Amino acid sequence: MTKTKFNGLLGLFLIIVFCGCSVLKSGKAQNSFVKGADIGWLQQMEETGYKFYDDNGVEQDCFKILKDHGINTIRLRTWVNPSDDKASGHNSKEQTVAMAVRAQKWGMRVMINFHYSDSWADPSKQKKPAAWEGHDFPQLLNDVYDYTHDVMSDLKKAGVTPEWVQVGNETPGGMIYPEGSTDNWPQLAQLINKGYDAIKAVSPKSKVILHIDRGNDNARFRKWFDNAEANGAKYDIIGLSYYPFWLPGKPDYTLSIDDLGNNMNDLVARYGKDVMVVEVGGEDTKPQNTYDMLVAVQQKVKAVPGGKGLGVIYWEPQGARSWSRYPLSAWGEDGRPTKAMDAFLVE
């Protein structure tokens, strides 16, 4: 073999090895355990002058601080026509797209959360967007499809392909009231499917999540997802919230953590879907307890059989009480992350 041919073959071999390693790394990144943060308040916090500091007290971009604490995924909510209110506004399509682009530049995976409202949608309220008021049900179906398709298309144009997309946020009673209430499951399923179809039309690889609260309550999940299945609702992943603080009596997580694990195991066995804790939070004044809770939640998700427990996302960890008045962030009065955030560094 000539030296020239040998060098050529060696070069080809190195290219193949390099490409193979890149593919493996990419695959590992895509399939790695989700350690996430929902940071819908971040843009507003920055605009109002809030400063973020790392563990050493050095001012840093919040994304860097989160990444240094093990966060690899960003969850972003999007509202239809939000106000400019500090706590209950923003998160427009344009702002969501800008934040998604920024997250991707930091090497983060992206989850988009459609609330289908102009502001908060959660178990206590699912108010339809003002622009959709007075529309009959066929038009509401079109509204959901067109709006979802529009946001997903703008993300695609910006170079962002969300790995996951939620259709509705904490929807134990349904969404887009009153038409999408669980009092009328056939209609709710149609609304869900319009969101699902619009997402897949633009981004076929994005996984669709349906999400309800009280992740420790198996009966709640069985009733909801039995109805979803019976009415043909389409989805890929079951999303759970887990907030011990909001449970009756504000009990410590140790009283409900096993129920969370058992519920996830049952959901996987019963419906054959992956599960993810898409919202979690603990008291900012008890960082050690919140740290312990986060470690325990991650362990329960990792223990789900068949690798079908995908990960854990903290809701607004950077949303310091001094700015938001929210008691369940993982940020201190000094503008630094509390010990709770170190839980995402635990393997």
| Predicted local confidence at residue 31, as pLDDT | 66
Residue 10: pLDDT over 60: no
List 59, 170, 316, 347, catalytic entry? 170
24 is a domain residue = no
The predicted model gives 275-282 an average pLDDT of: 98
326 conformational bin, left if phi > 0, alpha if psi -120 to 50, beta if neither: beta
Pairing type for strands 164-167 and 109-114 reads parallel
Write down the residue that tokens 């981004």 correspond to.
Answer: 203
The predicted model gives 37-59 an average pLDDT of: 96
223 is a domain residue = yes
Helices (H), 32-55: 42-47
| Predicted local confidence at residue 30, as pLDDT | 55
Picking from 115, 338, 239, the residue whose alpha carbon sits closest to that of residue 329 is: 338
Residues spanned by the domain of 111 = 34-345
Nearest-angstrom CA–CA distance, 182 and 180? 7
Q: Which residue has the higher pLDDT, 140 or 5?
A: 140
As beta bridge partners, residue 110 has 74
Under 8 Å between Cβ of 152 and 199 = yes
| Predicted local confidence at residue 83, as pLDDT | 84
262 is a domain residue = yes
* Domains identified in the chain, total number: 1
Q: What is the CATH number of the domain that holds 272?
A: 3.20.20.80
pLDDT tens across 176-195, in order? Answer: 999 999 999 999 999 999 99
Residue 16: pLDDT over 70: no
| Predicted local confidence at residue 21, as pLDDT | 41
> Is residue 170 annotated as a catalytic residue, yes or no?
yes
At 9, phi and psi to the nearest 5?
-65, -40
- What pTM does this model have? 0.91
Q: What is the mean pLDDT of the chain?
A: 92
Nearest-angstrom CA–CA distance, 251 and 237? 28
Under 8 Å between Cβ of 160 and 208 = no
180 is a domain residue = yes
**Sign of the torsion formed by the C-alpha atoms of 247, 253, 256 and 262:** positive
pLDDT tens across 295-312, in order? Answer: 999 999 999 999 999 999
DSSP, collapsed to helix, strand or coil, labels residue 338 as: coil
Tell me how crowded residue 119 is: count the other CB atoms within 10 A of its CB.
20
290 is a domain residue = yes
| Predicted local confidence at residue 89, as pLDDT | 73
**First-to-final CA distance of the chain:** 49
Burial class (CB in 10 A: 0-12, 13-18, 19+), 156: middle
| Predicted local confidence at residue 39, as pLDDT | 98
At 330, phi and psi to the nearest 5?
-120, 40
> Is residue 94 annotated as a catalytic residue, yes or no?
no
List 47, 59, 133, 279, catalytic entry? 279
- Reported residue count of the chain is 347
287 is a domain residue = yes
Picking from 127, 112, 114, the residue whose alpha carbon sits closest to that of residue 79 is: 114
At 317, phi and psi to the nearest 5?
-60, -35
3 is a domain residue = no
16 is a domain residue = no
Nearest-angstrom CA–CA distance, 264 and 260? 6
Write down the residue that tokens 């996951």 correspond to.
Answer: 164
The predicted model gives 116-145 an average pLDDT of: 97
Under 8 Å between Cβ of 302 and 296 = no
DSSP, collapsed to helix, strand or coil, labels residue 109 as: strand
pLDDT tens across 77-115, in order? Answer: 999 999 887 777 789 999 999 999 999 999 999 999 999
